[in-house]
Amino acid sequence: MIDSAAWNCSGADWQATAPVAWLRFDAENWHGSRVPLQFFSRTSRHEKITLYALDNDGTLRSRSFAESDGRPFAGGPVFRLPLPLVTAETEAVLVRIESPHSIPLLTEAGLVRHVEDAGRSVEEMMLLALVLGMLVLPLLFDVSFYLVLRERFVLFHAAMVVAMMGYVLFAGGVISAVVSLPVVFLAVMAPLSWAVGCGAALLFLSEFLERGALSRTMRRITFWTGCWTIAVPGFFSLQLHATQGVDDAAYFITITPAAVVVSAALVHAILRGSRSAKFVAVAWFPLILTSIERLGRGLGVYAGPASLDMMMFVATGIEVVVISLAIADRFLAIRHERDAALTEARMLEQISTRDSLTGLMNRRAIEARFDELLAQGFDTFTLVDLDRFKAINDLHGHQVGDAALIACANAIRAAGDRDSIAVRLGGEEFVVLLRGERTLERAEAMRQAIPMRIAKDVPGLELPVTASMGVIMVSRTAHQTMQFADFYARADALMYEAKAAGRNRLAYERLTVFSEPPAARRRAANDEEAA
């Protein structure tokens, strides 16, 4: 018999590191309807439990159970075993637990007649079901947000929510109301869910806060502490029999850095003015406090009832509401940032693809889209060049020359429609792509409109500013083998033909089969223009 002085009844300094632990329940008027029939305790790994009923006369009755013999029931994270016969003469019930892996396995044990006497109240079970239901909503939010944002922090938060759901199911005992699972599975899943949830929370925090809220060093510390929390406490949560002497304390010690780093990172971010960090701090502060309380019980600093766990589940419900608001707030901020970035990108793209003087597309823009435009039916290529434009700059200055170019662009734009695209190549050269019916007549009307618009918008010119035009109309079979440079070379040669023929006119060509443009025509036209 164990000496009575060896029993620890102080409520502190419990240990789960010894190969064998003993519990003693002294009789308290055990007779009639008060005779206990069941032993129960928190679900945790062990190898074997032997129950003894000790009578006043020294009679000892025992029953032994393997780990797999435990029967979980819907009253929390607990399992039960039937007692040997307990009578009015029974002095005490002794419990021998071999290879205990958890202090709560020892401190939260008890004897009852009916299992419902050890279960949670209806109110507690309803609260757990409510928290579990609340966790479904942010998970749906995460799926919706990820489809829009494709941000990693959404995935990390989803992992955190799933882990929290697992913790409520297994540590809260809700799962046992639905299905009967082995004790070993329940014993592992509860602490594993908490380790994964804490680790995912750190990964979430490292990615969630605004840019610059965490320094590069703090962000790395937060991220790698999250990885550590999933891996190391996650390993000890498996409660392998080979690690029985250390895994209980090791689990709580190795998970402690998570709370320290989370607190430090949030303070660091708040001091840097992070709005999101304030949301997260409000959401996680209750969880950090309840985790510290659970840490004290887990390390055997003091013993407390299992009902204290309800504080953690309430804190989880608070976290769900506040962190959902934080993600929604961050979502709106990211959308605003992205909209601003897209607006800026569109402005930059417009600057890079638009001629700054006339507002028409530039050569870079048209070459990038040329094949697409050909496929859309823009098969008439018109090259426009103002006649004797150099004389305008020489006589009136470049400011007047720029005004003439703007007026030319406005004339082309005004004469165009949805079936025409105008481009300024540079200098006094413009390209107009046309599609549809009567493209040659439309091009000529556009050419004739140019002198009138320049005369109207740029008064004081001594001579009218006319335009010469080279037009290429090609069949589908021809343009399938032609590039922008090919169109330009042919239209350029035709435009110089028009200049050689007296300027202020149009020269055109219809192509059904592509061939190299006649270079001799351009050389002759160049000679004529120079003369």
Strands of the 467-474 sheet, one edge to the other = 361-362, 420-426, 429-434, 380-386, 467-474, 506-511
- Is 428 noted as a catalytic residue in this protein? yes
Q: Name the burial class of residue 420, with classes exposed (0-12), middle (13-18) and buried (19+) by CB atoms within 10 angstroms of its CB.
A: buried
Nearest residue to 424 (alpha-carbon basis) of 412, 434, 436: 412
Strands 38-42 and 77-82: antiparallel
Q: Are 326 and 276 in contact (CB under 8 A)?
A: yes
Q: Are 101 and 45 in contact (CB under 8 A)?
A: yes
Q: Which token pair is 22?
A: 């003993």
How far apart CA 350 and CA 148 sit, in angstroms, is 26
Beta strands (DSSP E) in 188-275 are none
How far apart CA 499 and CA 469 sit, in angstroms, is 8
SS3 481: coil
Tally of CA atoms within 13 A in the half-sphere of 97 that contains its CB = 30
How far apart CA 45 and CA 186 sit, in angstroms, is 9
Q: Are 323 and 157 in contact (CB under 8 A)?
A: yes
Which candidate in 428, 441, 444, 528 is catalytic?
428
The DSSP symbol for 16 reads S
Q: Which residue's structure tokens are 């060049």?
A: 385
Q: Are 106 and 23 in contact (CB under 8 A)?
A: yes
Nearest residue to 53 (alpha-carbon basis) of 97, 90, 2: 90
Q: Are 100 and 23 in contact (CB under 8 A)?
A: no
Which residues on adjacent β-strands are paired with residue 51? 63, 95
SS3 223: helix
Who's near 349: CB < 8 A, 6+ residues apart? none
Q: Which token pair is 426?
A: 């540079």
Q: At what angle do helices 247-271 and 183-208 cross, to 10 degrees?
A: 20
Question: Annotated active-site positions, please?
Answer: 428
